[in-house]
Structure 1
């Protein structure tokens, strides 16, 4: 029979004036009386206060009230004990710190807070949740509030990364996207993109944070997200490179053209309605349904080769050669992909909507791509073509659980590379559409809704490639 491993330390300590045995096991279980704490999962850190040690932890309360949340909410709680001597106090501190250090947790984090995005409560989330938990975990933080759109990208492109163990975004998805783009535009992008990035949901969409937390059955709550960052576990994330000539944009969430893009961008005029603006404008847009001419070409993942028809001609996208890289920047140029020797397929419009997704959730209430994985090297394509208005309304109600992909009006497949050739409005050739990437206007065609967001590319052919597991995220387990 295998013997139980020797404890790291075992001693009699004083708890609430009573002498009790306490043990820290080699597996990280801190036990006393009829209680125990899992150091990795529940202990944030500790502090010495006189002759006592204060263990700072988070414990799970009763199950959450939100439908679908399988775990309860988290509450900060402290436990105090007094070792029998100063020498014992020193040993306890050494052993506790030794075990915490063995977990590979971050010690220094750079925190970006977006005080303007979403419901404008990121600063409150930082003060009430992020800062206290980070302090409990003895993590040194440097805080930067973003001042304008693109500020996080500027910061990430120049940040002295060697000073930090990770970057934390207290915001919606927008700051994450800016950070990834900033890191990939650096001359040292190959090392920079390995910097772990943490997400604390404090915006409108929170699709990435929801995808991370939902993958382990946790609620999309700031405390759960911060705990995941403190624990230091990581996972890889695919990054899509969107190219048009020498212009590039690096996407981590989604790209949409047609109905979904129109709803996302044009509903901005109803921002005063709050989150209800999306549902309201979705109904309005469906009642006055648009279809767009155009075509898509794609390299299907294994098992999806039956979609579309084979492309016999050249796909018409040039790869970047060494001279163009030198002439147009020193940052990341996208994944190497021998496009001419890949098996391309084609589907022609008109389309109601084209939606590419990198992770399952597009927002906290929208499970756009239920089969999406964080680092499988593919994008999930959700395509609406011929669909009745009633069918679309029914389909939209299923997006909170991913049921829409089972609709006969939806085609759902995975792709390795993708070409979008956007066209005009089927009912009015003088009007074109909007291409939305990660919640921002990527391209805006003729006759479209005018908003403050400046388009990054022309309303023309786009080439999208996926680099498997390029970025790194702090992730719950």
Structure 2
């Protein structure tokens, strides 16, 4: 129960009106008089400043009606409350008590801000100046600003960062920059300390799945101002990190991995960027009409309660036995992945062909697509969404329900949670000279022969050799709405 013990109680002017004003030990400011109201230091207050004989309390409060575009999502607006205490001594006491309340919240004081000026609609710099910077200034939060200049620049910055200088890293971008930051931190020699650095995400890209997942968890609108306030408040939550391994090559994922129709739509639709956001809808229809099936195999260690899915794997399965010995023998001068070991009998498997293989770490893949409605930020599992076969009309109906997670109820969709995952990607079922695309956190991880931009750029992994994924529960830390 919140402590309602009054720290200050007096007669004062609030916005020019005589009022009885109190500040409780729980950080609640309340006034009653001609007009009445209240503020929570934690949930509403950005900062304060003494102005002559008055105190200006800078707040970011829920907007009247508290909704966005007809939905129940909370939106906020800036509001200042001007308090004129009864004396100079009282003004000093108000400043002292408010400072004590804010300091007790362990809010960040100095941040590294990374802005990706090229992502999405190339509006991140404008979003920062217009929506983010004013809130940071109102909260007296200092920051160092850097714009990323090229792919993996954010990873380089994070890898070289002196983490003792900052209380957190904030990414003003889509999902790509946070992925780069986490990969950079985990490649540092002091990664056990570095990965504890809280990371904030301000939606300014084309996807914004991580920001949407965070804000939607508390029914707040996925807008830059709400996300910035979440950083300012300083609340944190743990985030699972998946290690994606192909032989000696590693990548650390925090959002998703896809193979099949979802990856094809995401990556191949880039040729239609001139269409704006409509490119995804347009190319989804193209791919569902000209539907591809991919040969291959997926194996997984199911989470408790999901053991009925899949078929048993032979104890003589050479590749899975090798994985066990690999995870037992390698450890660890820098972060290589979680220490885990699974017996062959724990693994289950499905053989293709597949329409879609999709793993998710958080509920939302973008602001409008929720692939994994049951995903948790730090449960130690990945949510696996499989479509092995489906009539085209049923598939169109299923894909149309991605906006609210209703697709998981389709009889053509398998939805389960897994501890570990093993992908053996193959060729297209009817075009055996062509492979597929593996998309991880919005970037191409590997692409097969005959795919979009095959051979035009170097990808991190090869298409064909198996890819192994394991999860480290709660390894990273995010700034999060309470």
- 2:288, 2:395 within 8 Å by CA — same for their partners in 1? yes
Select which of 257, 269, 289 maps to 1:267.
Answer: 269
**Offset, 1:109:** 1.1
**Offset, 1:83:** 2.4
**1:2-151 equivalence runs, <5 A:** 5-17=4-16, 19-33=18-32, 34-61=36-63, 62-67=65-70, 69-151=71-153
- 2:76, 2:226 within 8 Å by CA — same for their partners in 1? yes
Q: 1:3 to 1:185 in 2, by over 3 A?
A: closer
**Offset, 1:215:** 1.0
Higher mean alpha-carbon deviation, 19-28 vs 190-199, is at: 19-28
Determine the C-alpha separation between the residues in 2 that align with 1:350 and 1:25.
63
Counterpart for residue 341 of structure 2: 338
- 2:2, 2:26 within 8 Å by CA — same for their partners in 1? no
SS in 2 for 1:41: coil
**Offset, 1:236:** 0.8
Select which of 388, 398, 401 maps to 1:398.
Answer: 401
Counterpart for residue 472 of structure 1: 477
- 1:441, 1:453 within 8 Å by CA — same for their partners in 2? no
**Offset, 1:21:** 2.9
Q: 1:321 to 1:217 in 2, by over 3 A?
A: closer
The question of 1:373 aligning with 2:376 is answered yes
Counterpart for residue 430 of structure 1: 433
Determine the C-alpha separation between the residues in 1 that align with 2:2 and 2:105.
24
- 1:299, 1:342 within 8 Å by CA — same for their partners in 2? no
- 1:114, 1:123 within 8 Å by CA — same for their partners in 2? yes
**Offset, 1:4:** 8.0
- 1:441, 1:454 within 8 Å by CA — same for their partners in 2? no
Determine the C-alpha separation between the residues in 2 that align with 1:351 and 1:322.
31
Determine the C-alpha separation between the residues in 1 that align with 2:239 and 2:344.
26
- 2:256, 2:365 within 8 Å by CA — same for their partners in 1? yes
- 1:263, 1:282 within 8 Å by CA — same for their partners in 2? yes
SS in 2 for 1:363: coil
Counterpart for residue 462 of structure 2: 458
Counterpart for residue 407 of structure 1: 410
Q: 1:453 to 1:95 in 2, by over 3 A?
A: farther
Task: Write out per-residue CA displacement over residues 303-336 of structure 1, whole angstroms, 9 at most, x where no aligned residue.
Answer: 111111111123154454798667xxx4211001
SS in 1 for 2:418: strand
**Offset, 1:63:** 3.4
Task: Write out per-residue CA displacement over residues 149-179 of structure 1, whole angstroms, 9 at most, x where no aligned residue.
Answer: 1011011111111111111111100001001
Determine the C-alpha separation between the residues in 2 that align with 1:253 and 1:406.
22
Q: How many equivalent residue pairs? A: 472
Q: 1:352 to 1:55 in 2, by over 3 A?
A: same
Q: 1:446 to 1:84 in 2, by over 3 A?
A: same
Q: 1:106 to 1:345 in 2, by over 3 A?
A: same
Q: 1:201 to 1:308 in 2, by over 3 A?
A: same
- 2:321, 2:344 within 8 Å by CA — same for their partners in 1? no
CA RMSD of aligned residues (A): 1.9
Determine the C-alpha separation between the residues in 1 that align with 2:334 and 2:357.
29
The question of 1:182 aligning with 2:184 is answered yes
The question of 1:355 aligning with 2:358 is answered yes
SS in 2 for 1:36: strand
Q: 1:317 to 1:253 in 2, by over 3 A?
A: farther
Task: Write out per-residue CA displacement over residues 383-402 of structure 1, whole angstroms, 9 at most, x where no aligned residue.
Answer: 01111111111111111011
Determine the C-alpha separation between the residues in 2 that align with 1:445 and 1:227.
43
Determine the C-alpha separation between the residues in 2 that align with 1:73 and 1:213.
11
Counterpart for residue 199 of structure 2: 197
Q: 1:4 to 1:279 in 2, by over 3 A?
A: closer
Q: 1:316 to 1:322 in 2, by over 3 A?
A: closer
- Compute the TM-score of the two structures, normalised by the length of structure 1: 0.95
Counterpart for residue 451 of structure 2: 448
**Offset, 1:339:** 2.8
Determine the C-alpha separation between the residues in 2 that align with 1:224 and 1:174.
20
Determine the C-alpha separation between the residues in 2 that align with 1:4 and 1:414.
41
Q: 1:117 to 1:17 in 2, by over 3 A?
A: closer
**Offset, 1:125:** 1.0
> What 5-or-longer segments of structure 2 have no aligned partner?
none
**Offset, 1:224:** 1.1
Task: Write out per-residue CA displacement over residues 224-252 of structure 1, whole angstroms, 9 at most, x where no aligned residue.
Answer: 11111111111111110000111100000
Q: 1:369 to 1:5 in 2, by over 3 A?
A: closer
SS in 2 for 1:364: coil
- 2:328, 2:339 within 8 Å by CA — same for their partners in 1? no
**1:211-230 equivalence runs, <5 A:** 211-230=213-232
- 2:327, 2:340 within 8 Å by CA — same for their partners in 1? no
The question of 1:253 aligning with 2:247 is answered no
- 2:327, 2:339 within 8 Å by CA — same for their partners in 1? no
SS in 1 for 2:402: coil
**Offset, 1:271:** 0.9
Q: 1:220 to 1:453 in 2, by over 3 A?
A: farther
**Offset, 1:17:** 4.8
